Amino acid sequence: MLREAIYHRPKQNWAYAYDNKTVHLRVRTKRGEADEACVIAGDKYAWKQTRDVVPMKLLASDELFDYWEAEVVPPLRRLKYGFCFRSGDERLYMSEKGFSPVEPDNYLTLFEFPFLNPADVFVPPAWVKDAVFYQIFPERFANGDPSLNPEGTLPWGGAPTPTNFFGGDLQGVLERLDHLSALGVNAIYFNPLFEATTNHKYDTKDYLKVDPRFGTNEKLKELVDACHARGIRVMLDAVFNHSGKEFPPFVDVLEKGAESPYAGWFHVRDFPLRVENRVPTYDTFGFEPIMPKLNTENAEVKRYLLDVARYWIEEVGIDGWRLDVANEVDHAFWRELRAVVKGLNPEAYILGEIWHDSISWLQGDQFDAVMNYPVTEAALDFFARGKTGPAQFADVIGSQLAAYPRQAAEAAFNLLGSHDTPRLLTVCGGDERRVKLATLFQLTYPGAACIYYGDEVGMAGGGDPDCRGCMVWETDKQNRELFAFFAAAIRLRQDHEALRSAGFRFLAADGGLLAYERLATDGSERFVVAMNVSERPIDAVLPVDPEDRRTPDPTAA
């Protein structure tokens, strides 16, 4: 066997507590090489009496590797373990010290999961795996109170630019909740609502006040209450990486420089604050002078932002925070944020905006999930752009499922587009069939799904700002057939536990056929999704025998 391919290191996605009694152990081998894998496990203080051999299941595969998983419930919550592989007649054992053809005689050389402490268990809110979110960009969803229109508000439906306004507001959302209920979503993700100068509001001026163009804090409370009455949860956008240029502490530093009592709130490389050769002399989001990076290591800044996080949970009863530019803020701050948020509401969802590998944030001490863009990209490349085939798609999905703890997959935030990307229909080149397949995949994949407002009625749009168009409300301009498909897919998901669980296995990923099995965590339900992604009819026989679940390479069938 190819020893260089075999990888395991305790913690992360390789050895973690799934709940207060269960440890998941994973290992990878070169794809197609191992016929079976098992864990040798026991209590480290009573090895001889407790040593046990636990077969591993094939969790997933990608281009290079097979990923194996076993569940172990150590009676005294502590575990020593090693791995054994069989490939034909060859056996190989793996301990922390390396490889050997026979079982290590010194069990002290094995790996350790020293103790399963509940405080370290990663527990995302249980409701998230059942959630279908609807993302609302408030300035463009519905104008329910024209008296709040900013100066120069354009007629609804015009072309969006980086700077124009159409008057969307909270009253508009309140009046359109029937649309959300008809679609069947049960959660909203709002782009920023707090006072700011831009139309996207990612440049906060006042973190404790709803933007007056959107309404009031009371209006938001009314809206959240109305959502809750319909069983719809509400998540807000927390822009804690940076503030806006009108944020009073920043204004003070702009005016007073190093003398400002707020000088330590930002990362200033040189006073006075200015922009030289397009580079601000203070840290910003990107090179954007109006978005100064907040110093989240400063005790006052921490207290202020944690108070903001607390305020909207306590005063308005929001159900979660989406954290903007989350990976540029220090881990220490996010740990404190989690303690504050979960202390107030253990069921609050903490979602980080990270587009890349996020294992360092998904260990239980920081976020519940990240915006799952790697899966977005894989789905778009396959369903929308046709850049990859089923096998390549299955490889990326396999890699993603193996890369995180199971609870991360269950609570993942899966999206096919957002205010930061071209719209799904546009990426699909206008082909509704592709939109439907991608959406069906999204809604039958583990984790929460998020529909970007308007995608469900066939809105098109390229990258920012084009993807931020005004919601189409005239029924005759909406694609109602597409809406019905979205609603049906959401209903399907909500009707079937298997579709909301983590159990996922490809049955076919070849030619024009993509098929996968979904399995309820308690084994009570199996659901098979089969899609023809080609232009021609396909005849296929799928290996849906439940006994077949340990087939090393189902995608090669």
Point out the residues that are catalytic: 324, 353
Q: Please identify which residue in the block is written with the tokens 């997933």.
A: 60
Q: Please identify, using beta-carbon distances, which residue of 4 and 178 lies nearer to its own copies.
A: 4
Pattern of binders to its own copies over 361-380, x per CB under 8 A?
Answer: ----x---------------
Could you say whether residue 115 binds its own copies (CB under 8 A)?
yes
Could you say whether residue 462 binds its own copies (CB under 8 A)?
no
What is the Cα–Cα distance from 73 to 239, expressed in whole angstroms?
40
CB of 6 to its own copies, least distance (A): 9
CB within 8 Å of 101: residues ≥ 6 apart: 90, 91, 92, 93
User: Which residues in the 189-208 window bind its own copies by CB under 8 A?
Assistant: none
Could you say whether residue 63 binds its own copies (CB under 8 A)?
yes
CA distances from 284 to 279, 439, 469 (A): 9, 36, 27
**289, 275 contact by CB (below 8 A):** yes
Could you say whether residue 78 binds its own copies (CB under 8 A)?
yes
Q: Please identify, using beta-carbon distances, which residue of 46 and 126 lies nearer to its own copies.
A: 46
Q: Please identify, using beta-carbon distances, which residue of 294 and 470 lies nearer to its own copies.
A: 294
Q: Please identify, using beta-carbon distances, which residue of 81 and 527 lies nearer to its own copies.
A: 81
Could you say whether residue 20 binds its own copies (CB under 8 A)?
no
What is the Cα–Cα distance from 180 to 40, expressed in whole angstroms?
50
Q: Which of 4, 476, 535, 539 binds its own copies (CB under 8 A)?
A: 4
What DSSP letter does each residue of 331-392 carry, written as one string?
A: HHHHHHHHHHHHHH-TT-EEEE---S--GGG-SSSS-SEEB-HHHHHHHIIIIIS--S-HHH
User: Which residues in the 282-341 window bind its own copies by CB under 8 A?
Assistant: 283, 286-287, 296-297, 327-333, 335
Q: Which of 18, 65, 137, 202 binds its own copies (CB under 8 A)?
A: 65
CB of 356 to its own copies, least distance (A): 5
Q: What is the DSSP letter of 293?
A: B
Could you say whether residue 536 binds its own copies (CB under 8 A)?
no
Structure tokens belonging to residue 506: 């490809």
CB of 388 to its own copies, least distance (A): 11
What is the Cα–Cα distance from 138 to 173, expressed in whole angstroms?
8
- Edge-to-edge strands of the sheet including 513-519? 503-510, 513-519, 526-532
Q: Which of 89, 356, 541, 546 binds its own copies (CB under 8 A)?
A: 356
CB of 82 to its own copies, least distance (A): 12
Q: Please identify, using beta-carbon distances, which residue of 283 and 431 lies nearer to its own copies.
A: 283
Burial label for 321, CB within 10 Å (0-12, 13-18, 19+), is buried
Q: Which residues of 177-197 are buried (b: 16+ CB within 10 A; e: fewer)?
A: bebbeebbbbbbbbbbbbbbe
Q: Which of 119, 229, 299, 541 binds its own copies (CB under 8 A)?
A: 119
Region binding its own copies by CB under 8 A among candidate stretches 85-93, 114-122, 231-239, 533-541: 114-122
Q: Please identify, using beta-carbon distances, which residue of 217 and 392 lies nearer to its own copies.
A: 392
User: Which residues in the 211-270 window bind its own copies by CB under 8 A?
Assistant: none
Q: Which of 85, 111, 367, 382 binds its own copies (CB under 8 A)?
A: 111
Region binding its own copies by CB under 8 A among candidate stretches 8-16, 66-74, 312-320, 477-485: 8-16
What is the Cα–Cα distance from 125 to 314, expressed in whole angstroms?
18
Q: Which of 117, 161, 163, 534 binds its own copies (CB under 8 A)?
A: 117
Q: Please identify, using beta-carbon distances, which residue of 353 and 410 lies nearer to its own copies.
A: 353
**32, 553 contact by CB (below 8 A):** yes
The β-bridge relationship of strands 187-190 and 132-136 is parallel
Region binding its own copies by CB under 8 A among candidate stretches 70-78, 127-135, 255-263, 526-534: 70-78
What DSSP letter does each residue of 51-110 carry, written as one string?
A: -EEEEPEEEEE-SSEEEEEEEE--TTS-EEEEEEEEETTEEEEEETTEEESS--S-GGGS
Element (H, E) at 24: strand 23-30
**336, 298 contact by CB (below 8 A):** no
CA distances from 257 to 116, 252, 260, 273 (A): 50, 8, 6, 7
Q: Please identify, using beta-carbon distances, which residue of 37 and 329 lies nearer to its own copies.
A: 329
Q: Which of 161, 163, 360, 524 binds its own copies (CB under 8 A)?
A: 360
Structure tokens belonging to residue 434: 């592709």
Query: From its phi and psi, is residue 112 left (phi > 0), alpha (psi between -120 and 50) or beta?
Result: beta
Q: Please identify, using beta-carbon distances, which residue of 335 and 480 lies nearer to its own copies.
A: 335
Q: Considering CB under 8 A, how many residues would be counted as binding its own copies? A: 49
The β-bridge relationship of strands 65-72 and 57-61 is antiparallel
What is the Cα–Cα distance from 62 to 230, expressed in whole angstroms?
41
CB of 360 to its own copies, least distance (A): 4
Q: Please identify, using beta-carbon distances, which residue of 4 and 535 lies nearer to its own copies.
A: 4
CB of 189 to its own copies, least distance (A): 22
Could you say whether residue 430 binds its own copies (CB under 8 A)?
no
Burial label for 369, CB within 10 Å (0-12, 13-18, 19+), is buried
Which residues of the chain form contacts with its own copies (CB under 8 A)? 2-5, 7, 9-11, 30, 45-46, 63-65, 76-78, 96, 98, 108, 111-112, 114-115, 117-120, 279, 283, 286-287, 296-297, 327-333, 335, 354-357, 359-360, 365
